[in-house]
Amino acid sequence: MFSFANSWDIVLITIGTLGAIITGGVMPFFSVLMGEIVDGFNGDSADFKDKIGTLCLILVFGGCVNFVTGFFQVSNFLQSFHLFSLHIDHKGLLLEQDWRKTNTKDTRCIC
């Protein structure tokens, strides 16, 4: 598949892969952060509001990072695979058979 890739396809795949790595790395971070938030309920009541507020802001920031990197992952992979299919189709390597003609069995009944 990479034999049909040009330099733009490689850039899209690289950005998509980095997005996937960061998105996957944020998930364990969320687990640790939720543990810190739950642990914050057992602390002093004097700094409770500040500690929970700070942890919740970090959680929101992590969610935004996860959203953006997930978007880059999906959009770049979709674009690169679309370009791959165009490269392959342009070279005439896809099957040029009309599948409607090969399906002669009636699909309305289970036979």
Q: Looking at per-residue confidence, does 75 or 44 come out higher?
A: 75
Judge whether 108 lies within some domain: no
How many independent structural domains does the chain possess?
A: 1
Judge whether 105 lies within some domain: no
CA distance 55 to 61: 10
Judge whether 24 lies within some domain: yes
Judge whether 109 lies within some domain: no
Q: What's the half-sphere exposure (Cβ side, CA atoms, 13 Å) at 74?
A: 6
DSSP 4: G
Judge whether 28 lies within some domain: yes
* pLDDT of amino acid 50: 84
Q: Provide the residue range defining the domain that includes 77.
A: 2-90
First and final C-alpha spacing in the chain: 39
The pLDDT tens digits for 47-83 are: 888 888 888 899 999 999 999 999 999 999 898 888 8
Judge whether 99 lies within some domain: no
Judge whether 103 lies within some domain: no
The pLDDT tens digits for 12-42 are: 889 999 999 999 999 899 999 888 888 887 8
- Taking 80 as the threshold, does the pLDDT of residue 96 lie above it? no
Cα angle 90, 10, 77; round to 5: 80
Judge whether 107 lies within some domain: no
